[in-house]
């Protein structure tokens, strides 16, 4: 289903929610990730939110780069290849997987789930990545920045929290934009899955009864939406697109309606997530770790 909101001077927006339409609009050549801010006040405000995800030397975080951007494509392919070494990477983050397994089984952990997940994701890039409450707070602030109401967003910027969070995430990521994206923004999808796993494990004998692949299918979550802009008027499948409209692709809603388990990662598309293989493997391992008691038997 598609919703369109047009209030001249204020907003021009189209929201797309079904799997076929999301894929068609995502694939349309007149739809881009970079936001000009034209189309109304709200379009301008949203573009200003996204503009902070670039480094002082002009490098842009990967999920805000346009499709034809050659550097984006090269980095995406290189990271996808690195992350396809699933077994060695899972061994590298075995301590974090065990901690998350304990949390899923018992509901307790020595530190917050977000910190553990952030450290696991960071260690996919750097074996010595060390997350902390402060670094996870920085991630939470950047996530809020993208969705906060204007007054809250004003405060996040005015208080210095926005810049401090960007600096902290970039320092820990050693300038690697994909690491910054993963440890600040993507991390939230995994945290949601772990919390859902915990809820699943609390009921009856689910932990013993449900296998890792089934647990994964029940708990994997996609970003609620991703944002685009229509550059030139046109159509994508049945969806009519007016120039300079903001586009909300409701990925999570579409994922729930899709039969394809990799929909959450746009796995067959130009913007496929480079972590489309490792994330499901990681989550399945966490469930398996939760099923394994402290004496090492299942």
Note the residues at the interface with ligand HEM (CB under 6 A). 62-63, 72, 76, 79, 121, 124, 178, 181-182, 186, 189-190, 222-223, 226, 251, 264-266, 271, 273-275, 279
Q: How far is CA 54 from the centre of its chain?
A: 17
Give burial (CB, 10 Å; 0-12/13-18/19+) of 214: middle
Q: In terms of CB distance, is 166 or 182 closer to ligand HEM?
A: 182
Q: How far apart are CA 152 and CA 64, in angstroms?
A: 23
In this chain, which residue has its C-beta nearest to ligand HEM? 273
- Give the shortest CB-223-to-ligand HEM separation in angstroms: 5
Task: Take residue 215 and report the two structure tokens written for it.
Answer: 């647990």
- Give the shortest CB-67-to-ligand HEM separation in angstroms: 8
- Give the shortest CB-15-to-ligand HEM separation in angstroms: 15
Q: In terms of CB distance, is 12 or 65 closer to ligand HEM?
A: 65
- Give the shortest CB-150-to-ligand HEM separation in angstroms: 23
> Do β-strands 2-7 and 239-241 pair in parallel, antiparallel, or remain unpaired?
unpaired
CA distances from 265 to 35, 124, 190, 251, 275 (A): 22, 17, 12, 9, 8
Contact 71, 260 (CB under 8 A): no
Q: In terms of CB distance, is 105 or 181 closer to ligand HEM?
A: 181
Q: In terms of CB distance, is 161 or 252 closer to ligand HEM?
A: 252
- Give the shortest CB-7-to-ligand HEM separation in angstroms: 25
Q: In terms of CB distance, is 39 or 223 closer to ligand HEM?
A: 223
- Give the shortest CB-151-to-ligand HEM separation in angstroms: 26
Q: In terms of CB distance, is 275 or 289 closer to ligand HEM?
A: 275
């Amino acid at each position: 289903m598609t919703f369109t909101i047009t209030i001249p001077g204020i907003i021009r927006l189209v929201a797309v929610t079904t799997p076929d339409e999301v894929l068609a609009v995502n694939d349309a050549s007149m739809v881009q990730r970079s936001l000009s801010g034209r189309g109304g006040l709200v379009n301008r405000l949203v573009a200003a939110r996204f503009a902070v995800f670039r480094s002082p030397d002009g490098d842009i975080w990967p999920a805000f780069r346009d499709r034809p951007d050659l550097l984006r494509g090269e980095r995406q392919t290189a990271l996808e290849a690195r992350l396809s070494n699933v077994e060695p990477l899972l061994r590298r983050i075995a301590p974090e997987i065990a901690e998350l397994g304990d949390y899923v089984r018992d509901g307790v952990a020595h530190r917050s789930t977000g910190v553990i997940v952030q450290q696991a994701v960071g260690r996919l890039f750097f074996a010595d990545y060390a997350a902390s409450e402060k670094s996870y707070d920085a991630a939470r602030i950047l996530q809020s920045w993208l969705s906060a109401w204007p007054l809250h967003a004003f405060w996040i910027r005015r208080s210095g929290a926005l810049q401090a969070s960007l600096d902290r995430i970039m320092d820990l990521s050693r300038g690697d934009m994909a690491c910054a994206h993963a440890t600040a923004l993507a991390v939230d999808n995994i945290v949601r899955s772990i919390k859902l796993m915990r809820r699943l494990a609390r009921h009856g004998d689910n932990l013993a009864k449900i296998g890792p692949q089934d647990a994964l299918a029940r708990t994997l979550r996609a970003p609620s939406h991703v944002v685009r802009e229509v550059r030139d008027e046109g159509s994508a499948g049945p969806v009519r697109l007016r120039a300079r409209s903001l586009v909300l692709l409701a990925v999570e809603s579409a994922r729930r309606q899709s039969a394809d388990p990799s929909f959450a990662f746009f796995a067959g598309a130009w913007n496929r997530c480079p972590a489309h293989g490792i994330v499901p493997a990681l989550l399945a391992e966490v469930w398996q770790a939760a099923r394994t008691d402290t004496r090492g038997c299942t």
